[in-house]
Amino acid sequence: MDDGQTPLSVSPETVTLTSSTDVCLPAAGPTVFALGGTAPYSLRNPLPDAIGLSSDTIARSGEGVTITFKGGCMQAIPIVIIDSIGNTATFKVDYVAGR
């Protein structure tokens, strides 16, 4: 619900993908959902060369953004979601080698 009464949150709060090899090749990731706050939402990605987002905005609470990994291992990279009145929520992205 994006009525401004429910605090802004994200689900999941941590995204972890484990490669099936000893390197982190390009791969599809999950969708992360914005919840609460006041829509619309914007996203801040500190590593656009390594992490792809299906959009840099989310229109409504309950909608999400899908992550793609462009290659390269990473840990605890924060992606920030900002609602229309400036509230923020962060989810962290990990992509780790499996072997």
Q: What is the pLDDT along the chain (99 residues), one digit of tens a residue?
A: 566 678 999 999 999 999 988 999 999 999 999 999 999 999 999 999 999 999 999 999 999 999 999 999 999 999 999 999 999 999 999 999 987
What per-residue confidence (pLDDT) applies to 18?
93
Instruction: Classify residue 59 as left (phi > 0), alpha (psi -120 to 50) or beta.
Output: alpha
pLDDT of residue 4: 64
Collapsing DSSP to helix, strand or coil, 6 comes out as: coil
Q: Does pTM top 0.85 for this prediction?
A: yes
Amino acid at 65: V
What distances in angstroms separate CA 29 from CA 4, 8, 37, one per listed residue?
29, 22, 25
What lies within 8 Å, CB to CB, of 50 at 6+ separation is 69, 70, 71, 72, 74, 77
